[in-house]
Amino acid sequence: MAGLAKGLRIIEAFDEAHPKLTVSTAAEAAGITPAAARRCLLTMQELGYVSHDGKFFRPTPRMQRLGGSYSGSAPLPVLAQPHLQVVRDELGESASLAVLDGSHVTFVARVESQRIVTMNVRLGARLPAHASATGRLLLSALPDEEIDRHLEGCVPERTGPNTVTDVAEIRRRILAVRESGVSFTDEELELGIRTVAVPVVDAAGRTHAALSLAVLASRTSMDELRERHVPVMQREAARLGQML
């Protein structure tokens, strides 16, 4: 089981910024020795989950089955799909569903728009909870002491022109989201990108997920997000929540 745990840490190290790994980079990412990383990678190669060109290990299409096991069987992503499609069809934007995953949010369902230029979001992608609209919305549903635990040791990195780097201000924004029920970012994560998220809440008042959109600032104003996009998103999030 210890070997399985090491292998899973290596699998999680593959992402958009690290589409290929050497033995040494895999060891560093997983916090294990190079010898242990090599054994794990060779086992995954034997099972068909990674390929090896003599230096770099890369995920194969079979790796997709690991994520598909969740998105294809868990009730939330399956139930969310038709509601995301409605949002996409009415607003012409790709729609996503994310859940809180430790100090990050993970996207568990998504429907792509037909626009030529779309946001670079994929199933399984993760974002820091404190820095994203979805994360702040999901954090706002937690008790104050849990929010404080999430923000302990938080060191925000500037990634966009409006990135908030003051932890006290991030906490204030999270609490403001609790009051408004809607979370926005305006070129905080990336230049030219605005995001909006609304909660998926069940009949008992529990927040399960965040339904979100990411749009180009050049084609969608903040006023349009509030007046046109939010009502459609809230309607479909409410319908999804009634099914949980």
User: Which CATH number do you get for residue 54?
Assistant: 1.10.10.10
pLDDT value, residue 71: 55
Residue 69: inside a domain, yes or no? no
pLDDT value, residue 189: 87
Residues ≥6 apart with Cβ < 8 Å to 222: 184, 186, 194
Q: 34 and 104: one domain? A: no
User: For position 221, which CATH number holds?
Assistant: 3.30.450.40
Please tell me whether the overall predicted TM-score, pTM, comes out greater than 0.85 for this model: no
pLDDT value, residue 24: 93
CA distances from 229 to 82, 87, 93, 136, 177 (A): 17, 9, 10, 19, 17
Residues ≥6 apart with Cβ < 8 Å to 175: 140, 147
| Radius of gyration from C-alpha coordinates of the chain | 19
Out of 14, 40, 63, pick the residue that ends a domain: 63
Residues ≥6 apart with Cβ < 8 Å to 217: 186, 187, 192, 193, 194
72 touches 78 (CB < 8 A): yes
pLDDT value, residue 174: 96
pLDDT tens-digit readout, 160-190? 889 898 999 999 999 999 999 999 999 998 8
Domains held by the chain: number: 2
Residues ≥6 apart with Cβ < 8 Å to 183: 133, 134, 136, 137, 140, 177, 196, 197, 198, 210
As a whole number of angstroms, the distance between CA 43 and CA 52 comes to 11
Out of 63, 87, 109, pick the residue that ends a domain: 63
pLDDT value, residue 22: 94
pLDDT value, residue 236: 97
110 touches 122 (CB < 8 A): yes
Q: 85 and 171: one domain? A: yes
* pLDDT < 70: residue spans in the chain: 67-74, 115-120
Which 8-state DSSP code applies to residue 173? H
Q: 181 and 83: one domain? A: yes
Residue 199 belongs to domain spanning: 74-242
